[in-house]
């Protein structure tokens, strides 16, 4: 398979502060359970399968893993699976996590963290991952107006050595501007993909102009979000996939990567086969005509 030969490096690299990563990463949200993430009564994923997927991802050159302490199901935690599979962590592996949201042990969502609660969330991620510092912490800002106070707490933890770099998630352009008055921002992590959230197009470009990584989540699932892909695929995607002998998923990821060299995709899966297909997207080279056709579909899609 192409992914075995070229791996995640085929898509090129980007620098998060002083950390260089391959542009195809891995999202851990789907690891703890089968089916829809965060669904009540979700069946925990087979532990050995999850561990095998993580180890295979690293073998394929994935060196950017996205996780969070609130990624868990009954009996399974993404952070602890990562710890079990990969510690002692290989040199160059960047683990990014998120703070702000949290869930109680039953899985119910709790109110967004206050600034005073953020240190506890950072320390919980450190404990679960078995680390003495976090490479990258994204403040998930949905539900906040001004983020200056929250981001200031994280900047203080960075100065104390608990965090290396900072980013923001579920953010708008004004949030990026607010955060940048407090501390450097190395990435913006937002929901975005082919024919999904096209209103984000200008923000993607702005991040590139400022040298800030844009990390789309749901780049495959689109409006399916935590439930995953579903429904009929667009004919243009199917036609281009047939021409390349590739899956529609690979075409969607390749399109996202072509939005700019600063775009880092983090597709998540608990399936070894899907993992290899996702990573193989880095080697898929869309032609100018194919990109034009896909862009036309993206621009015409309803805003969701």
Active site residue 71: yes
Q: Which is the catalytic residue, given 71, 89, 192, 196?
A: 71
Structure tokens at 25: 């990463």
The residues carrying an active-site annotation are: 71
């Amino acid at each position: 398979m192409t992914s075995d030969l070229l791996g995640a490096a085929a898509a090129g690299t980007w620098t998060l502060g002083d950390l260089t990563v391959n542009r195809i990463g891995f999202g851990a949200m789907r690891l703890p359970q089968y089916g829809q993430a965060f669904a009540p009564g979700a069946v925990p994923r087979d532990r050995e399968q999850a561990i095998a997927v993580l180890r295979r991802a690293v073998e394929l050159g994935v060196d950017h893993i996205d996780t969070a302490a609130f990624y868990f199901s009954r009996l399974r935690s993404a952070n602890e699976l990562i710890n079990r599979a990969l510690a002692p962590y290989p040199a160059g592996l960047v683990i990014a996590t998120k703070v702000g949201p949290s869930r109680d042990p039953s899985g119910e969502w709790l109110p967004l963290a206050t600034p005073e609660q953020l240190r506890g969330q950072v320390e919980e991620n450190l404990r679960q991952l078995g680390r003495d510092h976090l490479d990258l912490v994204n403040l998930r800002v949905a539900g906040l107006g001004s983020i200056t106070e929250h981001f200031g707490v994280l900047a203080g933890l960075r100065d104390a050595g608990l965090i290396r770099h900072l980013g923001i998630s579920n953010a708008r352009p004004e949030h990026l501007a607010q955060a940048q008055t407090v501390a450097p921002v190395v990435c913006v992590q937002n929901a975005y993909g082919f024919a999904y959230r096209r209103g984000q197009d200008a923000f993607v470009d702005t991040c590139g102009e400022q040298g800030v990584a844009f990390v789309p989540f749901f780049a495959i699932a689109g409006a399916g979000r935590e439930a995953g892909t579903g429904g009929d695929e667009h004919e243009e995607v199917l036609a281009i996939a047939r021409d390349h002998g590739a899956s529609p998923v690979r075409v969607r990821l390749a399109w996202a990567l072509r939005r700019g060299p600063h775009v880092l995709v983090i597709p998540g899966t608990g399936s070894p086969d899907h993992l290899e297909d996702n990573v193989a997207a880095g080697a898929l080279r869309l032609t100018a005509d194919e990109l034009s056709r896909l862009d036309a579909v993206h621009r015409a899609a309803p805003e969701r």
